[in-house]
Structure 1
Amino acid sequence: MGAVARAVLWTAVAAHLLLVEYLFVRYGQGKNSLLTAGKFCGLHLASVMMLQLVLVARLPWLDRRIGMDRLTVWHRWIGFGLVWTLTLHFTFIVAGYADLAALSPWDTFLSLAGVTASLLGMVAAAIIVVVASISVRYVRRRLPYEAWHALHLLIYVALGIGLVHQAMEGTTFDSTGATAYWWAVWALVLAALLTGRVVLPLWRNLYHRFRVAAVVPESDDVVSVHVTGRHLDRLPARAGQFFIWRFPGHHGWWRANPFSLSAAPNGRSLRLTAKAVGRGSAGLRAVPVGSRVFAEGPYGAFTTIHQSRPASLLIAGGVGVTPIRALLEEPGGPTTVLYRVHTAADAVLLPELRALAKARGAQLHVLTGRTGAGDPPNVPFAPANLAAAIPDIVRRDVFVCGPPAMTDAVVHSLRALGVPRRQVHAEKFSLA
């Protein structure tokens, strides 16, 4: 399923780019070679922006097959390509007009800034650069999730300004048909974005009317929130997926956090379990019972619909156990669970895991200790150790969720052991 979705997505992108380049060669030449290059980069800049919007539109068909974590990674890396394309577009346009008017680049820049359409393009470009700057890993890790998310929304302001800039310029294609195609694609992209990000979440929340049913402390820094609502049996949620949660009467509309379901949906309630790592998650313990909940989702491809083998291995790290615990409720073949924590006291939901493992006849192993400590070093996810613990690992589907470093280490070991990629399902808990 995932391979088909990726093929459809990238085939559509390639077909669009080829058609745009053909139309540009026929109908889009500039007044000199520099302006032609600038317009060429501008078309690709807009096409990259279209792709960026599709990747974050949260379209159910793509999300269930590829997963929001992977779509988000693609969005992030393509975003830096967007900045470089933007830089080339700006540079060629200024150089082209400077050549036409026999002015210096600085004087040309000031002259263009006096034209409304050009000024709007400059403002949109400045916003994109700011958003890209806060998305650099060094900066992103030092910003609270809520602050980063709020600043990142400025990209929609840049989108609106950029569309007005394109409409006012209106000189890329000297062809009615080519222009109609261009704006038709934009209309489809914007419709997909509005459907996935606005229409579907609003409809689901109006229909289901989510409310807090209970707040249960699991430990000193971990809490579970039970959410109920109407017709939850019609909500297309599966074990392993996550929602983006808002508690407007308690946190405000602007604060949203992605938390996995920590129990399989049963048609009557949903449960999230979170560790206090930020203001949003730390405040969940004080959410009043009966308060409103705004939930966007379900999202994620970390589900058993992608399982290809009867046997499975579930690997969790820290609070990344929440989707693993939900997956353990799903019926299936032979199952082994490896739960990695520093100490047994850090093993959240361990009694539930033990009860579920006993009911399913699954094996559960809690792996404690600090990685690298002791002699020999404690490296439970080294290839040799994984192979010794799970001799038939290459004949199992492996689901792994935890901190990024742990997830990367497990995936690397699975590749070294020859586990086929289609049997490896990984979700980094920093996103899920």
Structure 2
Amino acid sequence: MTITAPATTANASAHPPFQWAASTRPSGAARPAAPAPLRRVPTWWRDASGAAMWALLLFVSALWVKGGGLQDVGTVAGFLTSFGRLTGLIASALLLVQVFLMARVPWFERAWGQDELARTHRLVGFTSFNLMLAHVVLITLGYAAASPQGLWGTIVDFTLNYPGMLLAIAGTLALIMVVVTSVKKARAKLRYESWHLIHLYGYLGAGLALPHQLWTGADFLSSRLATVCWWSAYAACLAAVLIWRVAVPFVRTRRSALHVVGVRAETPDVTTVTLRGRGLNRLGAQAGQFFNWRFQDGPGWTRANPYSLSAAPTDDTLRITVKHLGDGSARLADLAVGTKAVIEGPYGRLHPGTRTRTKVALLGAGIGITPMRALLEALPQGSDDVSVIHRVSTRDDLVLGDELDALARERGARYVVVEGRRIPGRETWLPAQAAHLSDVDALRQFVPDIAERDVYICGAPAWMDAAKAAALGAGVPAAAIHVEYFTY
């Protein structure tokens, strides 16, 4: 291994292609001005929001019991119908939770982060869908068992004579389309833009199911309390979506007046875009966070894409550095100066406010180094408080390398470049040149006091999983590891 410091070079092993380029602040250099005070995220927000979801499910179950749910299970028809009601109630509650999770409510987003909310949204969505199917089957069988019309006669009767059933069927079909395209294999075959458009039909499905539930659902109409609670829950979800997905982005976009002032090619497939606006400090953005961006540059501009800040935000500028991975990101290279931007955000937990310790390690692979560069610029730090590990396949992939090196020297941080192709057949964050090391040993070699640091990780999902496992194996508590998965 070759260790390169500002004025020294020493050989430490027989594997020279595996490099650690460590930058330190030059002797006598002035310490830069301290960044703005950190906006900490209260840890109790996570517990409170999780407890609120379970409280909702318990309350819904209590309404079912109060409405006679346990008294109707003495016969086959009663058993099927009663538990069909319960599965429908819980499915409806989870559908509301699912919508609320992605409503961009700031308290939930700051507590969990968009990627964790998205994973929970997906789990809740599949659970809600399965319970909805169980509700349809159980209710139909229960009514058929008590009716002389039989199964098919009951289905026809439901469809033609029950208020809101045709709308509910249409809503169910919309939800089926969303669920099918959310399965991993189907999702992998869709472009992000196509998947996102289809996914919006989930709102339509939830809306079409509402009349059926509120017009004919026994547990929705069993008491004034139940009616008020369900109407309030639906109203709260609708208000959250309209406020945080529509009104707030519209106001922030109008107020900030963001427009492109610079476009720079970092590599043939990586572009940096600098934007200027007014009063950007009111956005509350922190280094390492991301926005959903829409650039008004022609057809297709209404589709949003998430891009991280690659520099600490200022009162009048934001900057992103993006790899060309699809149509939306590739067109950034052709943006004209003056192009206006529509924003949603800021989002994400890769920011200084989630730090729990004084010392920090920043691990970035490929384009995942961009939020780490912003964090390096913004984190309050003393000498050796921050170490940056930059994983690349080749030197041609060293995006923002010069900026990272200069910032590390200025701020007294260490900057480590880990270069080389990945090890075939091994799930690891290391290159092939380091195959003689375990993931944990290599991490400890780079950052000997890693167990005493917060660790921020961003890159491809498999690489992040390996880096997170190495950090855990090196003794870093799970609460001190911060990751952001940019997958859909």
**TM-score bin (small chain):** over 0.9
**Contact 2:421–2:432 (8 Å) recurs in 1:** no
Shift of 1:233: 2.6
- Residue 481 of structure 2 aligns with an amino acid whose one-letter code is V
**Contact 1:380–1:386 (8 Å) recurs in 2:** no
In 2, the alpha carbon distance for the partners of 1:317 and 1:429 equals 13
Q: Is residue 191 from structure 1 mapped to residue 272 from structure 2 by the alignment?
A: no
Partner of 2:463: 406
73-82 vs 190-199, which moves further: 190-199
In 1, the alpha carbon distance for the partners of 2:437 and 2:153 equals 63
Per-residue CA distance 1:240-279 (angstroms, 9 max, x = gap): 1000001133343432110000111011111111111101
Partner of 1:114: 160
In 1, the alpha carbon distance for the partners of 2:170 and 2:413 equals 58
Shift of 1:188: 1.7
Q: Which has the higher contact order (CA 8 A, sep 6+)?
A: 2
1:32 counterpart SS class: helix
In 2, the alpha carbon distance for the partners of 1:340 and 1:379 equals 17
In 1, the alpha carbon distance for the partners of 2:484 and 2:172 equals 33
Per-residue CA distance 1:325-363 (angstroms, 9 max, x = gap): 100101224111100110011011111111111111111
317-326 vs 378-387, which moves further: 378-387
In 1, the alpha carbon distance for the partners of 2:414 and 2:346 equals 29
Per-residue CA distance 1:159-206 (angstroms, 9 max, x = gap): 110112222224324211221122112222221222111111111111
Shift of 1:88: 0.5
1:291 counterpart SS class: coil
**Contact 2:420–2:432 (8 Å) recurs in 1:** no
- Residue 229 of structure 1 aligns with an amino acid whose one-letter code is G
Q: Is residue 74 from structure 1 mapped to residue 120 from structure 2 by the alignment?
A: yes
1:289 counterpart SS class: coil
- Residue 410 of structure 2 aligns with an amino acid whose one-letter code is A
**Contact 2:365–2:458 (8 Å) recurs in 1:** yes
Partner of 1:16: 56
Partner of 2:175: 128
Q: Is residue 322 from structure 1 mapped to residue 362 from structure 2 by the alignment?
A: no
In the superposition, the TM-score normalised over structure 2's length comes to 0.85
Structure 2 residue runs of 5 or longer lacking an equivalent are 1-40, 425-430
**Contact 2:308–2:371 (8 Å) recurs in 1:** yes
* Structure 1 segment 11-410 matched on structure 2, within 5 A: 11-27=51-67, 29=69, 32-115=78-161, 116-172=163-219, 173-330=221-378, 331-333=380-382, 334-372=385-423, 377-378=434-435, 382-410=439-467
In 2, the alpha carbon distance for the partners of 1:121 and 1:429 equals 33
> Which one has the largest radius of gyration?
2
**Contact 1:150–1:254 (8 Å) recurs in 2:** no
Shift of 1:375: 7.3
In 2, the alpha carbon distance for the partners of 1:251 and 1:291 equals 13
Shift of 1:376: 6.5
In 2, the alpha carbon distance for the partners of 1:294 and 1:426 equals 26
Residues paired across the two proteins, number: 431
Identify if the C-alpha distance between structure 1 residues 77 and 235 changes in structure 2 by more than 3 Å, giving closer, same or farther: same
RMSD: 1.8
In 2, the alpha carbon distance for the partners of 1:227 and 1:187 equals 37
Shift of 1:3: 4.0
**Contact 2:278–2:315 (8 Å) recurs in 1:** no
- Residue 322 of structure 2 aligns with an amino acid whose one-letter code is A
Partner of 2:481: 424
In the superposition, the TM-score normalised over structure 1's length comes to 0.95
Shift of 1:377: 4.9
Identify if the C-alpha distance between structure 1 residues 413 and 237 changes in structure 2 by more than 3 Å, giving closer, same or farther: same
